[in-house]
Amino acid sequence: MSRLLVTGGAGFIGANFVHYWLRHYPHDRMVVLDALTYAGNRASLAPVERKSNFRFIHGDIRDQALVERLLKEEGIDIIVHFAAESHVDRSILGPDTFIETNVLGTHSLLKAAKKTWIDASHVPFHRFHHVSTDEVYGTLAPGAPPFCETTPYAPNSPYAASKAASDHLVRAYYHTYGLQVTTSNCSNNYGPFQFPEKLIPLILINALQGKPLPVYGDGYHVRDWLYVEDHCRGVEQVLRQGRVGETYNIGGRCEKTNLEVVQTLCSLLDEMRPRLDPRSSDLVSYVSLLTFIKDRPGHDRRYAIDPGKAMTELGYRPQESFESGLRKTLAWYLENENWWRSLLDARYEGWIEAHYGAKTTNATPSLLS
């Protein structure tokens, strides 16, 4: 039986991981530590809150004393570290919290783990698993091979730079102090429980409300999409079979331009929730809401990840195709309208106004017709 501390477990991937883990290992002890920032949502954990082997702690990863107490009190032997500020656009408007949580917060966790597992009482088998991103590798030219574990780091946004710094600290704690660490760098995730500031849930929720679907720049930026449950399985495999001190790239081998993503979502919505034109009452495709807006500064053109090492060493295989994963995601958002409607409060509207309000639109008529 394992005893896990999951940081950021009320966020998108963390919550999916908690559900995934407790489905597969129903007797493990699971403690979630989450500061409940705008991105944290306790409702995402509702299905497990009453389990006797589950505990939620509202707290900050930078509170080293709290983390040390939890590690001791709960006899934790595995930390799975998801907690982070995770949105590139917010990091452009305000980088400070990214440095505080992603860099200083990760360092604080590492210190707590080292003190408890190595310095104070020897815990011979422990694991600090750090969840990171492909964005640390920078941007790829068209046709360049996907990122692999030996691709040099070249982060371009404050978010990516803060994650790169945290990856280096995790590595240093392994080499210097012998902390038993693993790191996974994954591509863009999508699926249930994702906060509607990232592309896929934002487009879904705007479409369902008849609002514009904002696409940055020319829409030909490429991301490599991964269904969140495939990511959770990848992390499980790294925890179970990964070699200590190693990094594993986890991706879906699913490169799409942003335009392809938005158009596919619109087609699925047309099928699953047909839309009536409010003026004529005729059926009209959601794609008519697509709107090009001013590009993100320093916008990375292409990400693509090579999961070959995880596939060879761990037997990792993503199970969802883009279409099957999107269908599941869309079905979840349609069935869980209460979950996402409760997020559309004044704080959320403030973000939408601050970020999108000032951006000029430059619609491309050929796409809108």
Judged by the rule CB under 6 A, the positions of this chain that interact with ligand TYD are 88, 188, 198-199, 202, 214-216, 221, 223, 258, 296
* Single residue of 2, 25, 28, 36 touching ligand NAD by CB under 6 A: 36
* Single residue of 6, 18, 30, 39 touching ligand NAD by CB under 6 A: 39
| 3 state SS of 55 | strand
Distances (CA, A) of 208 to 51, 189, 257, 267, 269: 34, 21, 22, 13, 9
From 10-18, 211-219, 234-242, 305-313, span contacting ligand NAD (CB under 6 A) = 10-18
Show contacts with ligand NAD in window 350-369 (CB under 6 A).
none
CB-nearer residue toward ligand TYD: 202 or 226: 202
| Smallest gap from residue 42 Cβ to ligand TYD (A) | 23
Q: Residue 62 binds which entry of ligand TYD, ligand NAD, none, with Cβ cut-offs from 5 to 8 Å by kind?
A: ligand NAD
Catalytic residue among 34, 63, 137, 159: 159
Catalytic residue flag (residue 218): no
Catalytic residue among 34, 135, 229, 255: 135
CB-nearer residue toward ligand TYD: 62 or 253: 253
Start-to-end Cα distance in the chain: 58
From 185-193, 237-245, 298-306, 328-336, span contacting ligand NAD (CB under 6 A) = 185-193
| 3 state SS of 306 | coil
Q: Residue 302 binds which entry of ligand TYD, ligand NAD, none, with Cβ cut-offs from 5 to 8 Å by kind?
A: none
Q: Where are the beta strands (DSSP E) in the chain?
A: 3-7, 29-34, 54-58, 78-81, 127-133, 181-186, 189-190, 213-216, 222-224, 226-227, 247-250, 255-257, 290-293
Say if CB 68 and CB 119 are below 8 A apart: no
Catalytic residue flag (residue 135): yes
| 105 binding ligand NAD? (CB under 6 A) | yes
**H or E element, residue 328:** helix 322-335
Task: Report d(CA 42, CA 6) in Å as an integer.
Answer: 14
DSSP H helices in 25-178: 64-73, 88-93, 96-98, 106-113, 158-177
State the residue number with the nearest CB to ligand NAD. Answer: 11
Q: In what order do the strands lie in the sheet with 29-34?
A: 54-58, 29-34, 3-7, 78-81, 127-133, 181-186, 247-250
Which residues of the chain form contacts with ligand NAD (CB under 6 A)?
Answer: 7-8, 10-14, 33-37, 39-40, 60-62, 82-86, 101, 105, 131, 133, 163, 186, 188-189, 195
Annotated catalytic residues are 134-135, 159
